[in-house]
Amino acid sequence: MGSTRFLAVELDGQALLLDVRYIKEVTGPCDSMDVPHKSGELEGVFLWNGKAIPLVSLGNFDNSEPRTLSTRRSAQRRKRTLIFHASGEWAGLAVDDATDIVDIESTQVLPARHNPGPYTTYEVDDGQIIRPIVDLAALISRVLDVSSHSHAGGGPLPSNAGSAGLFEGVE
């Protein structure tokens, strides 16, 4: 059995894990611009390495009411911005903190039961804290689908749209 490395982050008081294979850079707060027709997952765009890339969010990750802060204030009030590459696209995700990198054995990765959010299909319970694993590929696929309306069925992608093969053998 192998292990996978994850970046442990905090977002709105929730401890989360992100697969480090997608994370390319961790920066400070970003200054983003609003875009027309933004969704719960698309907060705006910002400049990174001379490119305008989307600033995404987990939407209503905890199934609460939508955020009321503007994009600029929301992203600027967060301590870190994660630059990631998934599903062939670059994007940023503003988080409250990125705490450490952890190695998780595949036997510790379980189907999400406690805090299933729209972009989590797995979680890790280390005996002290249960941390959902965010599927960044599903998140960026959803954002691109919503912003372009190119999904053939016109509806949202399934919550596990980008997780195929990520944790093979997990039941």
- Residue identified by tokens 């999904």 is 151
Residue 20 within a domain: yes
Q: What CATH number corresponds to the domain at position 111?
A: 2.40.50.180
Residue 166: count other Cβ atoms within 10 Å of its Cβ: 19
Which whole-number Å values give the CA distances from 95 to 8, 49, 109, 137, in the listed order?
11, 20, 22, 17
Sign, Cα dihedral of 3, 93, 116, 144: negative
| Rounded distance between C-alpha atoms, residue 21 and residue 19, angstroms | 5
Confidence of residue 13 (pLDDT cuts 50, 70, 90): confident
| Rounded distance between C-alpha atoms, residue 22 and residue 58, angstroms | 16
Residue 39 within a domain: yes
Answer with the residue of higher pLDDT: 1 or 59.
59
Residues 6+ apart with CB under 8 A from 97: 9, 10, 79, 80
Residue 164 within a domain: no
Q: Is 35 helix (H, G, I), strand (E, B) or coil?
A: coil
The token duo for 133 is: 């694993």
How far is residue 95 CA from its own chain's centroid?
Answer: 9
Residue 73: count other Cβ atoms within 10 Å of its Cβ: 11
Total number of domains constituting the chain: 1
Residue 61 within a domain: yes
| Edge-to-edge strands, sheet with 51-56 | 23-27, 80-86, 89-95, 51-56, 42-48
Residue 165 within a domain: no
Compute the chain's Rg from CA coordinates: 15
Residue 170 within a domain: no
36-40, 41-45, 99-103, 158-162: least confidently modelled range? 158-162
Q: What pLDDT sits at residue 134?
A: 94
Q: For residue range 68-98, list pLDDT tens digits in order.
A: 333 344 666 889 999 999 999 999 999 999 9
- The secondary element (H helix, E strand) that includes residue 76 is helix 71-77
- Provide the domain limits for residue 70: 3-148
Residue 105 within a domain: yes
Q: What pLDDT sits at residue 80?
A: 94
Answer with the residue of higher pLDDT: 82 or 64.
82
